[in-house]
């Protein structure tokens, strides 16, 4: 695996592959890799000849400076995991490589940044689109792979790709879970043993909603899920919603055949967790 830290050296490395008409995939990450990321690398290897993974803890998508400061950065372990996974290139730039002085960025996200994650993390998706656009420009991939766990982020990136007519394919890969069902996340390392058990209430509730989605009114289903989570020990709920998976708007019973997704965010053990489940 080649490791490069500048856009110029990355482009020099990719040019022969591009000239040979090889297909290039990008897996953008913030490091602190786990098996969910490795599943993205494996998926990318099936779709392309050359897989680039980027590791960059992007400051513009953190609205809490303490969260940015606490974000884990085990780079040696990440490099070892990527080598074992058969990644071809690691792009590992620093902040000065990716950002100039006083850069301005604003993209019309069609309201996607005003609901759920966008509502609770103001400015977050502007930061996400800003860095993802920079990574797309640096790598110029044929395909980019993202995880379903960050479903709203995927919809935001999809919106940007369509709006700016960026010539690449997006792939959403299924959420990878711990054996007991907890969605894999770099933040899970901050959970105590008790916190991990308490966090299972999120996935359990999502599963109940999926099991009952055909039998119950969506409003009632959502209200019951909220009540269940609010009564779960150690869980401080931020939101629970049932959305149309295509339009990313709140779902109702008027169109029973629409694809639905249930999404949840909650604080457990001082850690903010998100999860979701496609309901059919």
CA distance 39 to 139: 20
Active site residue 37: yes
Contact 183, 149 (CB under 8 A): yes
- Which position among 37, 43, 124, 159 bears the catalytic label? 37
SS (H, E, C) the chain: CEEECCHHHHHHHHHHHHHCCCCEEEEEECCCCCHHHHHHHHHHHHHCCEEEEEECCCHHHCCCHHHHHHCCCCHHHHHHHHHHHCCCEEECCCHHHHCCCCCCCCCCCCCHHHCCHHHHCCCHHHHHHHHHHHHHHHHCCCEEEEEHHHHHHHHHHHHHHHHCCCCCEEEEECCCECCCCCECCHHHHHCCHHHHHHHHHHHHHHHHHHHHCCCCCHHHHHHHHHHHHHCCCCEEEEEEEEEECCCCCECCCCCCCCCEEEEEEEEECCEEEEEEEECC
Catalytic residue IDs: 37
């Amino acid at each position: 695996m080649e490791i490069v830290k500048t856009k110029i050296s990355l482009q020099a490395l990719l040019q022969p592959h591009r000239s040979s008409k090889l297909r290039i995939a990008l897996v953008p990450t913030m490091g602190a890799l786990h098996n969910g990321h490795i599943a993205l690398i494996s998926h990318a290897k099936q779709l392309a000849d050359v897989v680039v993974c980027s590791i960059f803890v992007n400051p513009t998508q953190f609205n809490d400076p303490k969260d940015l400061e606490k974000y884990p950065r085990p780079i040696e372990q990440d490099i070892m995991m990527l080598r074992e996974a058969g990644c071809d290139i690691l792009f590992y730039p620093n902040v000065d490589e990716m950002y100039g002085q006083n850069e301005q960025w604003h993209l019309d996200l069609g309201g996607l940044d005003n609901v759920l994650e966008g509502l609770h993390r103001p400015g977050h998706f502007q930061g996400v689109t800003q860095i993802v656009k920079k990574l797309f420009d640096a790598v110029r991939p044929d395909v980019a792979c993202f995880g379903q766990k960050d479903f709203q982020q995927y919809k935001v990136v999809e919106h940007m790709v369509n709006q700016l007519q960026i010539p690449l394919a997006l792939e959403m890969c299924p959420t990878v879970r711990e054996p007991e069902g907890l969605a894999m996340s770099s933040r899970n390392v901050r959970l105590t043993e008790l916190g991990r058990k308490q966090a299972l209430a999120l996935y359990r509730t999502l599963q109940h909603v999926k099991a009952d989605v055909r039998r119950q009114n969506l409003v009632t289903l959502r209200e019951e899920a909220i009540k269940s989570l609010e009564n779960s020990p150690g869980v401080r709920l931020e939101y629970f919603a049932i959305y149309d998976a295509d339009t990313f708007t709140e779902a109702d019973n008027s169109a029973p055949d629409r694809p639905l997704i249930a999404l949840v965010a909650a604080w457990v053990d001082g850690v903010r967790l998100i999860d979701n489940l496609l309901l059919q």
